[in-house]
Amino acid sequence: AQKVTQAQTEISVVEKEDVTLDCVYETRDTTYYLFWYKQPPSGELVFLIRRNSFDEQNEISGRYSWNFQKSTSSFNFTITASQVVDSAVYFCALSERDNFNKFYFGSGTKLNVKP
Amino acid sequence: GAGVSQTPSNKVTEKGKYVELRCDPISGHTALYWYRQSLGQGPEFLIYFQGTGAADDSGLPNDRFFAVRPEGSVSTLKIQRTERGDSAVYLCASSPGQGASYNEQFFGPGTRLTVL
């Protein structure tokens, strides 16, 4: 079974729209980490955020915000006032207690931001 | 400072040949990872090193794949008797290995392997 599900394969928005990328995870562990990465057309994965399972506080960083809800096993990512430079594939990932260094990635959501 | 670097950026080989892919981690990072990314998919874990030793090689698909990190810095992923199904982008990442951000992984640009 997939440990991380990103159901949205591709999303297209117009610049300045807000957009939310969904991530649902599955684990039996009570201690785990969640991550988001951005992969622009150049191909290099860029680290965006890490959260541990004990910290459900939402986080905001500029135009980016993350909503972690253990009750629904979701860790969604919202971009406010999207820009063309936000166009990329975004990956959500999970690591679990037995090996916090082994990441399980979702299949990614491709975001197209049109001018 | 310098990020993770990988060489070559592209490698084209013929079925049955042997290839080596190299990764230079961020200086001071003790943990190093290899992933494989097929088109339209997320990265798939292959192996993780802590220092010189392979701490988890559970993602290596079969015994044609092998990786080393002899001095705890540079790592080489080796693929013997390549098959067309091995074609993918091979990603390397490193992380500090200790401290509060010990498992925050920073990725290199990848090596695109094409097996003809």
Distance in angstroms (rounded) separating the CA atoms of residues A30 and A50: 16
Contact B56 A99 (CB under 8 A): yes
Predicted local confidence at residue A84, as pLDDT? 96
Contact A44 B106 (CB under 8 A): no
For residue B6, the chain A residue with the least C-alpha distance is A44
Predicted local confidence at residue B61, as pLDDT? 94
The segments of chain A whose pLDDT lies below 70 read 1
**B56-114 pLDDT, tens digit each:** 999 999 999 999 999 999 999 999 999 999 999 999 999 987 776 778 899 999 999 99
Predicted local confidence at residue A1, as pLDDT? 66
**Cβ atoms of residues B67 and B76 within 8 Å:** yes
Please report the residues numbered 53 through 112 in chain B whose beta carbons come closer than 8 angstroms to any beta carbon of chain A.
55-56, 58-59, 89, 91, 93, 95, 101-110
**B30-63 pLDDT, tens digit each:** 999 999 999 989 999 999 999 999 989 999 999 9
Query: Residue B71, by phi and psi: left (phi above 0), alpha (psi -120 to 50) or beta?
Result: alpha
Task: Give B21's contacts (C-beta < 8 A, 6+ positions apart).
Answer: B6, B7, B8, B11, B76, B77, B78, B79, B90, B92, B111, B113
Which string of DSSP letters, residue by residue, matches A54-80? T----EEETTEEEEEEGGGTEEEEEES
